[in-house]
Amino acid sequence: MKNIKAIIFDAYGTLFDVNSAAEKCKDKIGDKWEGFANFWRTTQLEYTWLRSLMKRHKDFWQITEDSLEKSMKVFSIDMSMKNDLLNLYKILSPYPEVKNVLENLKKKKYKLAILSNGTPALLDELVQSNHLKDLFDDLFSVESVKVYKPDSKVYDLPLKKYKIKPPEVTFLSANTWDVSGAGNFGYNSVWVNRNNAVFDNLDFKPKKEVNNLTHLLELI
């Protein structure tokens, strides 16, 4: 990948472990915590896509709460835990290599940014709580266009800010639909395949595939 000017990251599942909120409550939730966490995440994403299609936008924090309520009912988890889980979601844990990778990329003078479904307030708290704020130039949120990924209006946000073209962007996500959306928009999309998953059949293949972000340093 040559002539790259900006490196853009998805947040949830790419930089930050979306299961970490439920994992921190696993003593109370029990053995079903991981299944519950995966169901919560899947429902959350489904709600973003459905609301985009229906043109009935709610921000990501509201969707996170709505999807949590359904998930807790499905898994028979006491509703008294709801606030604890929501508060933990605001401060999800980053993956172990994240800070080191960002520090190394920062030295190379790339524009570094997050492009996420999360609200500006959520993203700000997420990077602040994990001491990563100073490593990013921008935190781009879908709230400025009121539609969720993979709508092309979302991927256009960094281009407008940086006055660059899609081939000058490397975009990283752990979500195959996000990789496909960004790649079809023209980004150099890299799939962060942490769990040895199978890529979706969406008429797009990522430029590169890595199993953690450390390998990005070998590509740039």
pLDDT of 209 reads: 96
Backbone conformation region of residue 200, classed left if phi is above 0, alpha if psi is from -120 to 50, else beta:
beta
Q: Does residue 1 surpass a pLDDT of 90?
A: no
DSSP state of 94: B
Pick the catalytic residue: 10, 17, 59, 178?
A: 10
CA distance 185 to 204: 11
With H, G, I as helix, E, B as strand and everything else as coil, classify residue 144. helix
The architecture of the domain spanning 6-17+92-219 is: 3-Layer(aba) Sandwich (3.40)
Band of the pLDDT at 206, cuts 50, 70, 90? very high
pLDDT of 201 reads: 92
User: Could you report the per-residue pLDDT of 77-101, keeping only the tens digit for each?
Assistant: 999 999 999 999 999 999 999 999 9
Token pair in block for residue 109:
């003078």
Band of the pLDDT at 64, cuts 50, 70, 90? very high
Residue reference for tokens 């709600």:
47
Q: For residue 161, what are the CA distances in angstroms to 71, 93, 99, 114, 193?
A: 37, 28, 24, 13, 29
Phi, psi of 37 (to 5 degrees): -60, -45
DSSP state of 204: -
CA distance 52 to 35: 26
Band of the pLDDT at 55, cuts 50, 70, 90? very high
- Residue 10 known to be catalytic: yes
User: Could you report the per-residue pLDDT of 113-142, keeping only the tens digit for each?
Assistant: 999 999 999 999 999 999 999 999 999 999
The architecture of the domain spanning 20-89 is: Orthogonal Bundle (1.10)
pLDDT of 2 reads: 79
CATH topology of 6-17+92-219 equal to that of 20-89? Answer: no
Q: Which residues contact 127 (CB under 8 A, 6 or more apart)?
A: 114, 133, 135, 136, 139
Phi, psi of 91 (to 5 degrees): -130, 45
Closest CA to 52 of 123, 124, 182, 153: 153
Element (H, E) at 38: helix 33-54
pTM: 0.94
Percent of the chain with pLDDT over 70: 100
pLDDT of 7 reads: 98
What are the extents of the domains in the chain? Answer: 6-17+92-219, 20-89
